Amino acid sequence: MPKKFQRNKEDFTCAHCGAEVKGDGYTNHCPACLWSRHVDVFPGDRQAEYGGMMRPKDIEQKARGWRILHKCEECGKEMWVRTKEGDNLDLFVEKNGK
């Protein structure tokens, strides 16, 4: 049973591209390269043990906007996250031919 979302307002340095990211409590990936880290078991809890890098694997447009499919490079878990204003979706399209 999923726990209630826990908002964590944290700034971070992207472990993939080195960009400085200003968190707003809902930030879960780097807007510059779209990579993330597997830090949560449930959104916002910061309880994942391994902290593997999460590669942006796919993007798709839904009725409520765009979303990114991330895949953990360590455990293989996949999860969809919503994009935010300022995300560099053009970079994903350029690299992946989407």
Radius of gyration of the chain (CA): 13
CB 39, CB 23: distance < 8 Å: no
46 — pLDDT class (breaks 50, 70, 90): confident
Mean of all residue pLDDT scores within the chain: 86
What are 82's strand-pairing partners? 67
pLDDT score at 29: 93
Which residues make beta-bridge pairs with 80? Answer: 69
Degrees, nearest 5: CA angle 20-36-57 = 130
**In this predicted model, what pLDDT tens digit does every residue of 50-65 receive, in sequence order?**
789 999 999 999 988 8
